[in-house]
A and B are shown apart, each in its own frame.
Chain A
Amino acid sequence: SAVISQKPSRDICQRGTSLTIQCQVDSQVTMMFWYRQQPGQSLTLIATANQGSEATYESGFVIDKFPISRPNLTFSTLTVSNMSPEDSSIYLCSVGGGAEQFFGPGTRLTVL
């Protein structure tokens, strides 16, 4: 299994600002994934991040709103840009893919 940490664990932000969430894994992994869990809802895949290439975004998510970096095999960031209250969610980092999927503890974001 993989141990995943996320920073920050929670934040309260003002609308119009941006927040960058960090995801650190204790081992080298090929694929990293970012999910969003809106209040009382299920998890939705935002994008898949492969080291050395552009992230692949799911329908309904765009790079301008959720830019992702993947500088090496143990680290990724997700930025939530120009935030609105609708962006208030838990954002989760995940590693693996296919048969093995491990999740970080999540970042709880509240936008006022």
Chain B
Amino acid sequence: NAGVTQTPKFQVLKTGQSMTLQCAQDMNHEYMSWYRQDPGMGLRLIHYSVGAGITDQGEVPNGYNVSRSTTEDFPLRLLSAAPSQTSVYFCASNIGRNPTSTDTQYFGPGTRLTVL
């Protein structure tokens, strides 16, 4: 198992450009999420998905779109990049909504995005 993979590892954009951060997992996990990490603020949830075809907003969704056409993939789209979106982005997956299980979130290696 590769676990949770993210591409690219680094990206520099100019203000107004669009791009897609890729996330894939091969653990057949139902749940996938995107977080951003900013200095002094910990990680904050952007969007999440509880299964293919289902997505919902997290704490900081503005400026980002997601879709979940397959169980494996959960791309994050920046429609018009802004300097405020400079951050490290982490994708995570979770086996599913089962409080009795030992499920936990597995995180990808992160994508460091700079918007000039």
To the question of whether A and B form a pair in one complex, the answer is no
> Which B residues are closer than 8 A to A by beta carbons?
none
